[in-house]
């Protein structure tokens, strides 16, 4: 009986996969017979179509960004959930937010099916657990001010479907990023972002174009949300955290670029501001003392442009 049930489930899965563009095979291309230069050309040709596919979903992405920002301003957090490549891309995007934008590590978090071990190696059957993500999100105290972004190339990963379904139940904002139309995760999300990139260079290898599309979309969700929150000024990172020599040099250069002062003056301003780039810039531009600059930024909800406009140099 067990073997019969397993065979039935396998047959259903095979049928489901046959309907997915990410699982389809490219027409009459015998990759193993081609020269390497031709392989490079073909793969690059396919990759160039990914940004175009993302652009077609611009409206949904913009809606998602604004909704995320609304919840951030209410004290909410952003969670990415995914399995395999999708999960790793979510973790990558989340881990880059603190050094780039000076955010608390808890503000943007990535969860992957199978847990931390799955970041480095595959954890068998982890993606098939439709309760795991819900359990993890519940343990993190997911609430209605939070956002959950489910990422799945196929759009049917049980781990992601279960996590989004739980998020819906508690009233959190739900966003789905899939590479197939009419996806299961899109059906349970408030905002489906279905970026269809077509057949992969190697059939079914969704770490390729699908993974690239996921990275582009997540780049936009987190970066544009941070722009709306005032984490940038004139297209420059002004909330970065100087955790190494390169970022320390970038902090000095940022103050120099925005204010026009020399390196020594920029370093002095940063030291007085305890390394806070935005605060140092405001002090240099307006002449405010470090403590006053910090207060002015708080009053402006962290928006440097607003703080500068409210505190013109005497």
Which residues are known to be catalytic?
96, 127
In order, the DSSP letters of 64-103 are HHHHHHHHHHTT--EEEEESTHHHHHHHHHHHHHHHHH--
**In sequence order, which ranges of 107-262 are alpha helices (DSSP H)?**
117-120, 132-139, 158-170, 184-187, 209-228, 245-259
Q: Which two tokens stand for residue 7?
A: 């065979």
CA distances in angstroms from 111 to 24, 192, 212, 291, listed in the order given: 28, 19, 19, 38
Cβ atoms of 132 and 160 within 8 Å: the answer is: no
Instruction: Classify residue 172 as exposed, middle or buried by CB count within 10 Å of its CB (0-12, 13-18, 19+).
Output: buried
Strand 173-178 and strand 147-152: the pairing is: parallel
C-beta separation of 275 from 269 below 8 A: no
Start-to-end CA distance of the chain, whole Å, equals: 84
Q: How many other C-beta atoms can be found within 10 angstroms of the C-beta atom of residue 116?
A: 9
Compute the C-alpha angle 152/155/156, nearest 5°: 105
Q: What are phi and psi of 173, to 5 degrees?
A: -70, 135
| Alpha carbons 117 and 109: distance in angstroms, whole number | 16
């Amino acid at each position: 009986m067990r073997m019969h049930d397993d065979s039935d489930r396998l047959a259903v899965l095979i049928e489901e996969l046959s309907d997915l563009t990410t699982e389809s095979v490219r027409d009459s291309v015998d990759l193993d017979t081609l020269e390497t230069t031709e392989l490079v050309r073909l793969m690059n040709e396919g990759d160039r179509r990914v940004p175009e596919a993302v652009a077609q979903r611009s409206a949904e992405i913009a809606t998602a960004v604004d909704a995320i920002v609304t919840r951030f301003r209410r004290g909410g957090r952003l969670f990415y959930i995914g399995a395999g490549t999708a999960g790793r891309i979510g973790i990558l995007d989340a881990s880059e937010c603190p050094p780039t934008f000076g955010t608390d590590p808890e503000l943007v978090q990535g969860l992957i099916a199978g847990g931390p071990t799955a970041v480095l190696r595959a954890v068998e059957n982890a993606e098939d657990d439709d309760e795991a993500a819900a359990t993890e999100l519940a343990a993190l105290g997911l609430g209605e001010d939070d956002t959950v972004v489910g990422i799945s190339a196929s759009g049917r990963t049980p781990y992601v479907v279960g996590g989004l379904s739980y998020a819906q139940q508690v009233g959190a904002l739900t966003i789905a990023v899939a590479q197939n139309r009419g996806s299961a995760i899109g059906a349970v999300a408030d905002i489906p972002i279905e970026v269809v990139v077509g057949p992969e260079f190697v059939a079914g290898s969704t770490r390729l174009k699908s993974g690239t599309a996921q990275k582009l979309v997540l780049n936009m969700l987190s970066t544009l949300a941070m722009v709306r929150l005032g984490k940038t000024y004139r297209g420059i990172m002004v909330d970065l955290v100087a955790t190494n020599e390169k970022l320390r040099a970038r902090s000095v250069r940022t103050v120099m670029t925005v204010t026009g002062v020399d390196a020594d003056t920029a370093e002095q301003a940063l030291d007085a501001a305890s390394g806070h780039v935005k605060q140092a810039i405001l002090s240099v531009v307006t002449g405010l003392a470090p403590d006053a600059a910090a207060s002015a930024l708080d009053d402006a909800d962290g928006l440097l442009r607003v703080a500068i406009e409210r505190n013109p140099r005497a």
